[in-house]
Structure 1
Amino acid sequence: MAIRMIHGGLRASWPISFLTLGLLLSGCAVGPRFHAPQSAMPTRFTSAPQDAKPRWPSKTWWRGFHSPPLDRFIEAAEHHNFNIRIAAAQLEAANAQVEIAGAPLLPSVSASGNAQWQRAPHTRIASLGTRNPSPFYGASVQASYLVDLWGENRDALRAALADAAASRFNRDTVALTEVTAVATTWFQILADRAALTIGLRNLGAADRLLKQLQAEFAAGTVDAVTVAQQAALVASERANIPVLRSQLRQETLGLGILVGKPPEQLAIPREHIGALRVPPVMPGLPSRLLSRRPDVAQAEATLIAANANVRAAIASFFPSITLTGSAATSSAALDTLLSPGSLLLNAATSISQPLFEGGRLMGNLAVSRAIYREDVATYEQTVVHAFTDVEQSLTALHYATIQERRQAQAVHEAHRALAAVRAQLQAGIVDVSAVLTAEETLLGDENAYTQAQLTRLDAAIHLYQALGGGWRLRRPAHPVGN
């Protein structure tokens, strides 16, 4: 009965209710406002040289390697990579969801019209009418608006906006991950190709030496044990060739997936891993890192959405007010359908308050709060992981550079040693076992040098990825977290 009295009073004074609509729209949002968690932040990166100037990666950091094939592969991946395309489609869906979430903040308006023809049945009483058809026309417009008094719909929109931002940052994270995967896969192909070349070259040298020893054995200058040792070395190196070819083929197929092309359409150009250069890069202050990592921005946007969902869940406990209005007209003649005398206006206001939902509202609130706490932990983990990534990458690149330089020196010394031993063999100072030992040493050092080159390149790529790959956060004009 009380509701009927309120309903009737508002209907009688509907102009007043619409005059106060602006006050109602301002609402009084409930729930906690968003504040980003305060994570412990280091003052500097301990693995970076203290006197080094900051050199953050550019958006096209991979061009610093001076590898034209890599540039072409990354360009293909940016347009055809499957994971990037999936992330882009997810972003489109999230943007469309924003429009859906924003719809309840606007009035709902519908219109309808009808036309009828009536014909009285045949009767003997003339006063009851004639058998001629009688037309009837009608039209109406209805409008309704749910007053967002407690901010539930606004928080739903805020959550959708934050989810769309998280999808955008996720697309950027996926793009950075896939680009770095293309670079590491291409460098692995070059390393596998170099290892195959080294293996074939050493196989050829070992086979030539075996033929020479077999000739000397026939002449009686060497024993059978020496020939058998060399034959075993040749067999071992020959057995390793299929393994190297298989690794090279598998990496090539993996590169095709990354660039979105089938294997038969993927051309692998010639390039030597030793011709690549590592572009210099150095992080600045750790405080600047968080605005350069898309995964950190994604975690924060997800946290903003979770906070908005908590606010919306709290607002659902409060009453909801709906304003409705309609205008209808009807006439027996089409030309008088819009006349003032045929117009009927109606306005109403209704209010509803949840009383018993069987625990649904409390359950929704509990779920929203639990998800928020989960997202807080995820955000803090992402921040710590970002700083750790940089420290680990700086350390890996530093020691990989030292290792590569020392391994290059080892290869140089192994070549000198092999040349000296071969000269001594020709002079009859040493036997062939010394040559076998020197060849094995050179083979191991050359393979180790190739791996050291690959390790340094991979460490550099991981550092560029840890520093965000040239990505920068651009804050929106209207933050969704407020």
Structure 2
Amino acid sequence: MLAASLAGVLLAGCAHKIPVTEVVPAVELPAGWSQAGKPGQQAWPDTHWWKRFGSDELSQLVREGQESNLELAAALSRVRQAAAQARIAGVALLPSVDAYAGASRDLPLAGNHNANVSSSGLLQVSYELDFWGKNAASVTAAEASLRANFYDRQTVALTVTSGIVSTYLKLLSLHDRLDVARENARTAEHVLSLDEAQSSVGAATSVDLARQRSAVASQHAAIPDLLQQQREAQSALAILLGRSPQTFSISNSGLATIGLPDVTPGMPSELLSRRPDIQRSEALLAAASANIDAARAALFPSIRLTGSTGTQSSALRSLLNAQNLFANVGASLVAPIFDGGRLRTERDLAIEQKQELVQTYRSTVLAALAEVDTVLGQINSLDEQRRLKEVELEQTRLAFNLSEIRYKAGAEDLMTVLDTQRNLSDLQNELGLLKLKRLQATVSLYKALGGGWQAG
């Protein structure tokens, strides 16, 4: 959070100087979303949206990631660089003052000539009249670039936070899937024991035994792959936190500890001020507009005023005598006559660069609108899938229990038991994955809405 505060201070130091002269390109915005959220849900996400999942461990991990993530540290450095560039650009609006002092001694190489000693001191002031606004436009462009870097850091922060939450949820889901896989293996072993009992009294064939032993091996074979996925997800989460994967671990809990927050997307027009990537695109557009102003001003003459005062004497002790003091004031005008079309080409280049950013801005807005609508549709689809899969799972579990009872009584063959067992295992895995997808879709919606961040 310290990094975010520092970035805010850097931005506040000069953002207020940027004149709002750029008209944001018109983008047709819909009146609402085609995939509307449920009525009565929470309004726009707040700045600590991840806390709504109800996990203290997750909140601690997000806090650690925001302080230690290496990509965020690099983004903050880019903000500082842009702030330095803005300060450098501002220097052109101020006078420059130079001081000079020197002394020299002539050394005769032959004859009896006396050595001459001279000394001088000079203070010179120069100032370029920014009559056409070239320097001011350069400052505006640099400050807009600073804004763009600040918004870029906000985008990185949102991406990192979303990545931490999604990866954490994936880890919890893998814990659940491992529990299910181990339970399925135990169930398969239980069915095998029943089959062996049936075989001992001649009610089951060697083929039945072989099939069930194959089913047991298949259930056990799923566990190593899940363990590997768990290790990979844990390493990915450690990297997001800026930590070594070898020394990192989380609590062995599942998705049952996670709440499912609801969020509504608000109005599409609000998205323009809620997403930092859109704000960044707008800032880059403002910088491009200022660069055009600077390129146009460069076509006109530059006017510089100079003034100097100093003293010069052949004797150091009389250097400050009144008769050795002098002053000079001057003005100069430099106008471009022939440069092979360089300045006009630079102006044309700046204009085309702005036109590119206009299209980029529109594309960014449209992509943001599409992203929110897509995630809303995904959430609605996943909710319906989960509802139907839960009904299917309930009936499949009932079918498995009944088939096992009938098999013990000799009223059912082993193939029916194996089929219902396999179906139950598959549905449990599918339901676990659907739950993870639903939670991660909520994370994606938070991200698509800007994560609660909005331009001040």
Of the two, which has the highest radius of gyration? 1
Partner of residue 28, structure 1: none
Q: Contact 1:293/1:467 (CA < 8 Å) preserved in 2?
A: yes
* Separation in structure 1 between the aligned mates of residue 439 and residue 144 of structure 2, nearest angstrom: 36
Q: Once the 2 structures are TM-superposed, how far is the Cα of residue 134 of structure 1 from its aligned partner?
A: 6.8
**Is 1:170 aligned with 2:152?**
yes
Rounded Cα–Cα distance in structure 2 between residues aligned with 1:50 and 1:222: 54
Give the corresponding residue for 1:64: 52
SS at match of 2:46: coil
Report the equivalent of 2:264. Answer: 282
Shift of 1:166: 0.2
Question: Which amino acid in 1 is paired with 2:143?
Answer: L
TM-score normalised to the size of structure 2? 0.90
Measured in 2, the distance between the counterparts of 1:336 and 1:404 equals 97
Q: Structure 1 433/54 Cα, relative in aligned 2: closer, same or farther at 3 Å? A: closer
Does residue 440 of structure 1 match 2:440?
A: no
Give the AA of the match of 1:228: A
Give 1:19's aligned residue.
none
Distance in 1 between residues matched to 2:370 and 2:40, nearest whole Å: 19
Structure 2 residue aligned with 1:199:
181
Shift of 1:215: 4.3
Letter in 1 for 2:34: T
Q: Aligned letter for 2:370?
A: T
Cα deviation for residue 283 of structure 1 reads 2.1
* Separation in 1, partners of 2:362, 2:240: 31
The answer to whether the 8 Å contact 1:274/1:453 transfers is no
Deviates more, 1:447-456 or 1:222-231: 222-231
In structure 2, the residue matched to 1:26 is none
**Structural RMSD (CA):** 2.2
Distance 1:267 1:51, change over 3 A: closer
Call closer, same or farther: CA 1:49–1:176 in 2, change over 3 Å.
Answer: closer
One-letter amino acid matched to 1:282: T
For residues 73-110 of structure 1, the C-alpha deviation after alignment (integer angstroms, 9 at most, x for no partner) is: 21111011121111111111111100111111111111
Given that 1:53 and 1:284 are in contact with CA atoms closer than 8 Å, whether structure 2 keeps it comes out as: no
Partner of 1:416: 398
1:328-347 → structure 2 map (5 Å cutoff) = 328-332=310-314, 334=316, 336-347=318-329
Task: Specify the SS of the correspondent of 1:344.
Answer: strand
Match of 1:478 in 2: none
**SS of residue paired to 2:355:** helix
**Would the alpha carbon gap of residues 197 and 48 (structure 1) be closer, same or farther in structure 2, given more than 3 Å must change?**
same
SS in 1 for 2:195: helix
Q: Is 2:79 aligned against 1:91?
A: yes
Instruction: Find the partner of 2:332 among 350, 353, 359.
Output: 350
Q: Higher mean Cα deviation, 215-224 or 183-192?
A: 215-224
Q: Does 1:74 align with 2:62?
A: yes
3-state SS in 2 of match to 1:434: helix
Alignment of 1:307-322 (within 5 A): 307-322=289-304
Alpha-carbon distance in structure 2 between the residues aligned to 1:122 and 1:442: 112
State the one-letter code of the partner of 1:110.
D
- Paired letter, 1:229: R
**TM-score, scaled to structure 1:** 0.85
> Does the 8 Å contact 1:44/1:285 carry over to 2?
yes
Superposed displacement of residue 452, structure 1: 1.0
Question: What is the CA-CA distance between 1:397 and the residue it aligns to?
Answer: 1.6
Aligned to 2:127: 145
Q: Tell me, which stretches of 5 or more residues in structure 2 are unaligned?
A: 1-19
2:50 equivalent to 1:37? no
Q: 2 CA distance for matches of 1:312 and 1:388?
A: 36
Give the CA deviation at 1:319: 0.9
Query: In percent, how many aligned pairs have the same letter?
Result: 33
* Pair 1:296-2:284 in alignment: no
Rounded Cα–Cα distance in structure 2 between residues aligned with 1:49 and 1:262:
40
Amino acid paired to 2:144: A
Distance 1:432 1:393, change over 3 A: same
- Change beyond 3 A, Cα 1:339–1:52: farther
2:59 counterpart letter in structure 1: D
Contact 2:175 2:252 in 1 (8 A): no
> Closer, same or farther in 2 for the Cα pair 1:112/1:351, shift >3 Å?
same
| Amino acid aligned to 2:170 | Q
Aligned residue runs from structure 1 range 156-235, under 5 A: 156-235=138-217
Q: Tell me the SS of whatever aligns to 1:354.
A: coil
